[in-house]
Structure 1
Amino acid sequence: MSDALVPPDGPIGAEPETPVCARHSDRPTRLRCTRCDRPACPDCLRDAAVGKQCVDCVNEGRRSVRSPRTLVGAEQSDGRVIITPVLIVLNVLAYVVTVFQSGSPFNNDRSDLFAATSMIPELTAQGEWWRVLTSGFMHFGLLHLALNMAVLYVVGTQMEPELGRLRFSAVYFLSLLGGSAAAFYFGTVCQQLAGASGAVFGVMGALLIVWKRKKRDISTIVVVVAINLVSNLFTNASLLGHLGGFLIGGLLTLAMVRAPQKNRNLYQLAAVVAAAVLIGGMLWLRATELDTAAETIAEIVRTCSSN
């Protein structure tokens, strides 16, 4: 047996025990994260600006870096849309049901579903309030549906990534309700209304505001909107419904765009609530007016009958 002294760190040339990955205790490794210096196996390392970092450090770095935002404060996305195609599918499905019930792709307004969900002011004022919303998914024939869905696809794919899914949905549905409320409040009680035009015009109004804010050329949008509105004068389309949707969508988006960064979400929520209150107020006032008129007419009829 040798009496030579053994170095305190073990015999010269001996290798220390191999460390194991901080996330996988069964994987020995001599690699380390350049940020936290913990042992990490190749599966747990990611390329970084300098060296390699473990997945924990990479995720922590992502959380500390603020994601890019759009004009209204929505998180910048990769451009993929979900709400727009879902809305198109819902409109198409509703149309298919009405065609199946009526047996005609052009006279589908004769179906039971169309009769129960389209906007009929007199019935709406009597308590059938679902018509204010459901009428936005009914269409008079294939051409009406195709035109609305084509515009919705073009404009929706532009605006959904810009507004974000939640804000885009708010603009779409409040524009739909705004169009129904405008036609209900200012229009006659005899006209049957249906179509997503109010919502589509609202999204076009939103696009106009966003492009103007970005200093992009808005002449094409202005021309398209103007042609559509003027054409309403020569068709049975509801000019009031289109204007109502356009104004609600444009003004709501303007409020979102101009909201200060501090407490931006709160300001935008207040704008959404204000729009909803305005629409609800218009519906309630008109319903009250129609109810009073109905009572007056009934009283006159009873008086004449007694005499």
Structure 2
Amino acid sequence: MLIPLTTDRPRHRSAALVYGLIAVNTVIFLVGIGMQSADPARFGQLVDQYAVSSHGFRWYQLISSAFLHAGWLHLIFNMIMLAALGPNVEDKLGHLGFAALYFAGAAASGAAHIVFSDHPAIGASGAIAAVTGAYLVLFPKTKIICFMVFYIIGRVALPAWWFIGFNIAMDLFSGFGRDTGVAHAAHLGGYAFGMIVAMTLLWTRVLTREPYDLFTVLRQWQRRKAISSAARQFERQIDRQVGAERTVSPEQKALYEARANIARLVASGRLDAAADAYRVFVDEFGVTQRGTALSRDQQLKLAEYLIQSGDRATAAKAFEAFGNAYPSDREAPPSLLMAGLLLVKNLGRASEAGPLLERALPRLTGDERTLAQQLISEIGPKPTG
């Protein structure tokens, strides 16, 4: 058993709506317990009225059913999942955006349930599944801290894609289409709804894309495929030229074509698309081999845009690439300093920063030199032996 507790992703705003929903669900459950004790027959009628069902369906059941629970365990496990994953999604979407996702997810999951099942259903799990599906798209590589009760008992950190994917697989393969007493179709409908909404918001740029959200990861994968395909096509063209001398390798050809594409995007002012393409480029070719930098002004412009857009990891690579390609330029030492600063302060990769700062230090002056010395001091002496 895996019980999610929290995540390792920091937040920038309160999770007021998440905690409000937990409070409302808990109060309604406690009121229900009191009503059940006082008048069981009346309580049963109310549950029948507000549970979502294909028999005697009323539109408000799509929402009201999400605030009813069948018992303490049902309530507790749903609220634990909401408390663990909901705050990050609310932080990303904002309070109103999260409310829209939650209630629309409740309706979508309820609709999925009545399509596939004749039994009435209650519980917030469909709405929470929508939040969870959105989480999978927005933060697939975030670590979810879980309490595990299996062969060992303790806390474990699992990637969000693994934890959520496991839950989706359990609903899909352990009970979907069978009468298990669990609304598997509602869960799957919620997951699908949340994923579609999150992907659409990223695609339309209503939400700011991040380097490792699922939309960006898939785009980078497609571009890697395109680069590899271009390299293979070029190699086949060379093979068909009898007696032709290979002056440029397929890998170099792919590098030049990818770099030229990024340069065109920067020149046309499409810096967001250039940044996406540059992330793939850096993953494919790195920044140390010859030819991996753009022109002087374009490389600096792209590096500065990456900083402004919040992609510090790729920005560090862009500044390092500038320092490698233009070592005699007056901007090379500040660029290496910036790369080192990002690696130490933001990315936790101090060992990579040391060589860059050592290269920059002799040509830095004033405050920049002082900052470089402070960073080198933080990193500590090089290991010996």
Equivalent of 2:126 in 172, 177, 198: 198
Q: In 1, Cα distance between the equivalents of 2:89 and 2:27?
A: 23
Please name the residue that 1:136 is paired with: 66
Please name the residue that 1:153 is paired with: 83
Cα distance per residue 1:96-119 (max 9 Å; x no partner): 121111129xx9995443232111
Cα distance per residue 1:202-258 (max 9 Å; x no partner): 111000000148897622322233335545457311111111111111101110112
CA contact (8 A) 2:171 2:184 kept: no
> Are the structure 2 counterparts of residues 252 and 211 from structure 1 closer, same or farther at C-alpha, using a change threshold of 3 Å?
same
CA contact (8 A) 1:98 1:113 kept: no
Paired-residue identity, %:
27
Please name the residue that 1:103 is paired with: 37
**1:163 has 2:96 as partner:** no
Counterpart amino acid of 1:203?
Answer: V
Structure with bigger helix share is 2
> Are the structure 2 counterparts of residues 155 and 108 from structure 1 closer, same or farther at C-alpha, using a change threshold of 3 Å?
farther
Please name the residue that 1:94 is paired with: 28
**Gap regions ≥5 residues in structure 1:** 1-75, 265-307
TM-score where L is the length of structure 1? 0.53
Q: In 2, Cα distance between the equivalents of 1:241 and 1:170?
A: 18
Please name the residue that 1:72 is paired with: none
Give how far 1:121 is off. 1.7
Counterpart amino acid of 1:155?
Answer: L
Greater relative CO, 1 or 2 (CA 8 Å, sep 6+): 1
> Are the structure 2 counterparts of residues 228 and 177 from structure 1 closer, same or farther at C-alpha, using a change threshold of 3 Å?
same
Q: In 2, Cα distance between the equivalents of 1:113 and 1:210?
A: 38
Equivalent of 2:18 in 76, 84, 92: 84
Q: How many residues align?
A: 182
Q: In 1, Cα distance between the equivalents of 2:139 and 2:12?
A: 19
Please name the residue that 1:183 is paired with: 113
CA contact (8 A) 2:136 2:160 kept: no
Q: Helix, strand or coil for the counterpart of 1:144?
A: helix
TM-score where L is the length of structure 2? 0.43
Counterpart amino acid of 2:113?
Answer: A
Q: Helix, strand or coil for the counterpart of 2:14?
A: coil
Which aligned pairs between 1:43-122 and structure 2 lie closer than 5 A?
78-103=12-37, 110-122=43-55
Q: Helix, strand or coil for the counterpart of 1:179?
A: helix
Give how far 1:77 is off. 6.7
Q: In 2, Cα distance between the equivalents of 1:217 and 1:131?
A: 31
> Are the structure 2 counterparts of residues 117 and 211 from structure 1 closer, same or farther at C-alpha, using a change threshold of 3 Å?
same
Which has more radius of gyration? 1
Q: In 1, Cα distance between the equivalents of 2:175 and 2:124?
A: 15
CA contact (8 A) 1:229 1:242 kept: no
CA contact (8 A) 2:141 2:160 kept: no
Please name the residue that 1:247 is paired with: 192
Between 253-262 and 140-149, report the one with greater CA deviation.
Answer: 253-262
Q: In 1, Cα distance between the equivalents of 2:91 and 2:56?
A: 38
Cα distance per residue 1:1-42 (max 9 Å; x no partner): xxxxxxxxxxxxxxxxxxxxxxxxxxxxxxxxxxxxxxxxxx
Q: Helix, strand or coil for the counterpart of 2:139?
A: helix
